[in-house]
Amino acid sequence: MKKRILILVGVLGVVFYSYGQAQNPECPQNLSIFAEHAKVKNYDSAYEPWKMVYDNCPTLHYAIYHYGEKILKDKIEKDPANKEKYIKTLTELYKSAPQNFPKRYTVVGSLIDAALLKYNYKLGTNEEIYGLLDKAYKTNRDDFKNPKALYLYFSTLVDMNAAGKKDLQEVFDTYDDVTGKIEEENQELAETIVKYLPKEEKGTITSKEKKILAAARQNGANYEKISGSIDGKLGKLADCDNLIPLYNKNFDAHQNDANWLKSAAGRMDSKGCTGDPLFVKLVEALDKIEPSANSKYYLGSLYEEQGNSTKALEFYKQSIDLESDNVKKAKKLINIASKASRRGQKSTARKYAQQALDVNPANGTPYLILANLYANSANDCGSTTFEKRAMYWKAEQTARRAGQVDPSLKSKAAQSAASYKAKAPSKQDIFSSGMAGKTIKFNCWVGGSVKVPNL
């Protein structure tokens, strides 16, 4: 339930009356009683006075809903014989909260809470849970910010598809939308982190800003978890063996639908299905009706598949020039950098990774690409074994930066950084070399330098 923390101070009756007179003169006193009990988590004593207020004066104060949820959840756990009764009451509470206090509770939050309640206590079917979450998502997508509910929304849809109750195309459409939603949330969180990270590093961050930064990191970690779970849930449904027959079947009906073509071509490209003739049909149809950054990018993928990297790069550049959205432009630049990296074109890969950071510094993926490039260049830089292995420190630092600016990459960045650190000179190596605290410059394509850790 969307709520704000209630601060109970002074004479409670005075505070409560400021929200309007109760229909029943006993309500203010009971409100004060249950609130005092609930504040110290004495929910058993809070229940009866709370129930009296909820039944007779539901619009008296939002504390009825703030504490009511806690009181009822406590009853559900401690009184299993009457669990269904309390769950029914809590469901009604969720529904009435936004009706009585629309400035504090939302319809979307109410629907999400009701769905999670059914799921947690195994009282609802997949259809019922999905119905509530689908209604919430489509009522106000921007307000749908609960990571667990977002995963449950997609998960139940996949389960319904497995049971023959939902079409595979709907699964793919929802996957596109949900993953897009996660990307939007992560982008917003990463922008917050990029804003406050320099202050944290300089030690000039305020206590309020520190809390904002900590919340952004925690929320980013939550989205990171469900992102992997959603991809895992989709599993083999999005393999080429399923995509190709599905899109072949629907191509004639959607060959003039730019959005469908972009989605289909994008998924085939990301899943490595570009070698199939269908991908050519999709790209050509898209470029014909809507020449765009996307169509040029997919044309580049076609030439990439044919082994013509020079021609592919021409179309990739056209795609970048046509793209006006910096977030999308950064993703295209990242893809180009990744392809160049796989081909061993290190300078080209770094160029596009850096451009991606320039247009969207809140996306940490370019740092991971750069870190991998540096690590793969260890043998090319330095005249001694120690200097060569020092490159892994630069790779480690760069990988850690990915997790610092982009919470969705925290785990991946930490794993990569740990791997690079393990390959760098050990403390014994540093001691033996006498290089502790000194700076090593890299006279190769990487350039720059790294400071050897002090012992």
| pLDDT one-digit tens code per residue, 387-441 | 999 999 999 999 999 999 998 899 999 999 999 999 999 999 999 999 999 999 9
Average pLDDT of every residue of the chain:
91
Full 3-state SS string of the chain:
CCCCCCCCCCCHHHHHHCCCCCCCCCHHHHHHHHHHHHHCCCHHHHHHHHHHHHHHCCCCCCHHHHHHHHHHHHHHHHCHHHHHHHHHHHHHHHHHHHHHCCCCCCHHHHHHHHHHHHHHCCCCCHHHHHHHHHHHHHHCHHHCCCHHHHHHHHHHHHHHHHCCCCCHHHHHHHHHHHHHHHHHHHHHHHHHHHHHHHHHHHCCCCHHHHHHHHHHHHHHHHHHHHHHHHHHHHHHHHCHHHHHHHHHHHHHHHCCCHHHHHHHHHHHHHCCCCCCHHHHHHHHHHHHHCCCHHHHHHHHHHHHHCCCHHHHHHHHHHHHHHCCCHHHHHHHHHHHHHHHHHCCCHHHHHHHHHHHHHHCCCCCHHHHHHHHHHHCCHHHCCCCHHHHHHHHHHHHHHHHHHHHHCHHHHHHHHHHHHHHHHHCCCHHHHHHHCCCCCEEECCCCCCCEEECCCC
The Cα–Cα gap between 426 and 384 comes to 15
Give 311's contacts (C-beta < 8 A, 6+ positions apart): 300, 303
Question: Does the pLDDT of residue 270 top 90, yes or no?
Answer: no
Reported as a single tens digit per residue, the pLDDT across 128-175 is: 999 999 999 999 999 999 999 999 999 999 999 999 999 999 999 999
Residues 356 and 333 sit within 8 Å (Cβ to Cβ): yes
The Cα–Cα gap between 128 and 139 comes to 16
φ/ψ of residue 450, rounded to 5: -145, 145
| Every domain of the chain and the residues it spans | 1-105, 124-233, 238-420
The Cα–Cα gap between 247 and 260 comes to 10
Reported as a single tens digit per residue, the pLDDT across 37-84 is: 999 999 999 999 999 999 999 999 999 999 999 999 999 999 999 999
Share of the chain above pLDDT 90, in %: 84
pLDDT at position 1 is 59
- 3: pLDDT confidence band, cut at 50, 70 and 90? very low
Identify any residues that bridge with 439 across adjacent strands, giving them in sequence order: 451
The Cα–Cα gap between 169 and 271 comes to 16
- 238-420, what's its fold? 1.25.40
Q: What is the residue type of 25?
A: P
The three-point CA angle 215-219-222 to 5° equals 145
Question: Does the pLDDT of residue 351 top 80, yes or no?
Answer: yes
Q: Which of 186, 172, 142, 177 is nearest to 327 (CA)?
A: 186
Reported as a single tens digit per residue, the pLDDT across 188-215 is: 999 999 999 999 999 999 999 999 999 9
pLDDT at position 305 is 87
